[in-house]
């Protein structure tokens, strides 16, 4: 025995003699099992080709669907230019910031896009004003109805799948208890 591992000389037979070192080996016999190297290589090539084809057909990304849209007011179609849109599914939140042009795009962590499924949608939008200027004190003004802040009251859902790329949202303006906007 050499080293720590006992090895039987007959367990592994390679056709390796001084004269055959330069030749191509086609068979390896391992305890009465014969492997044909050409057949093994062909199977490896076939598996690799199948993997590449499957990756191409299913897409090589994370399976997440990029989703974007526009947020407008329901009364006149004008753009909501600040705020956040949230997509909730199974206790997880993905969000996108509403841009000055009224658009948003959503991402789930670092993955980008959303995994397929049904999402409840929430929207937050308020305007902050520093009063007096440079004081560090802010007042906040709601821009949209507060019902959009929770999934149970927003009334917004979306089914995300491979064909869903956009989801435009219409929201109602905030009306104060006194009836003013």
Nearest Cα to Cα of residue 158 among 124, 125, 113, 126? 113
pLDDT at residue 180, as a whole number = 58
Q: How far apart are CA 174 and CA 88, in angstroms?
A: 23
pLDDT at residue 58, as a whole number = 41
Q: Which residue has the higher pLDDT, 21 or 153?
A: 153
Q: Does domain 67-171 have CATH number 2.60.40?
A: yes
Give yes or no for residue 73 having a pLDDT over 70. yes
Boundaries of CATH 2.60.40 in the chain?
67-171
For the record, the structure tokens of 84 come out as: 């956040």
Number of H helices, E strands in the chain: 2, 12
For the record, the structure tokens of 117 come out as: 């499924």
Nearest Cα to Cα of residue 74 among 179, 174, 141? 174
pLDDT tens, position by position, 93-106: 999 999 999 999 99
pLDDT tens, position by position, 26-58: 555 555 445 555 666 677 766 665 555 444 444
Give residue for tokens 């093994």: 40
Give yes or no for residue 135 having a pLDDT over 60. yes
């Amino acid at each position: 025995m050499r080293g720590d591992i006992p090895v039987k000389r007959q367990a592994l037979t390679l056709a390796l003699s001084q004269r055959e070192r330069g030749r191509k080996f086609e068979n390896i016999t391992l305890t009465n099992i014969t492997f044909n190297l050409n057949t093994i290589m062909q199977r490896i090539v076939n598996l690799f080709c199948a993997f590449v084809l499957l990756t191409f057909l299913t897409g090589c990304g994370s399976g997440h669907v990029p989703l974007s849209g526009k947020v407008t007011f329901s009364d006149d179609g004008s753009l909501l230019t600040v705020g956040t849109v949230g997509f909730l599914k199974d206790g997880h939140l993905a969000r996108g910031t509403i841009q000055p042009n009224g658009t948003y795009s959503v991402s789930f962590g670092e993955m980008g896009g959303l995994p397929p499924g049904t999402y409840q949608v929430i929207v937050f939008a308020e305007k902050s004003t520093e009063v007096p200027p440079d004081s560090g004190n802010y007042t906040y003004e709601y821009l949209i109805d507060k019902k959009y802040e929770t999934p149970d009251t927003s009334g917004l859902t979306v089914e995300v799948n491979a064909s869903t790329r956009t989801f435009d949202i219409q929201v109602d303006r905030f009306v104060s208890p006194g009836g003013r906007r």
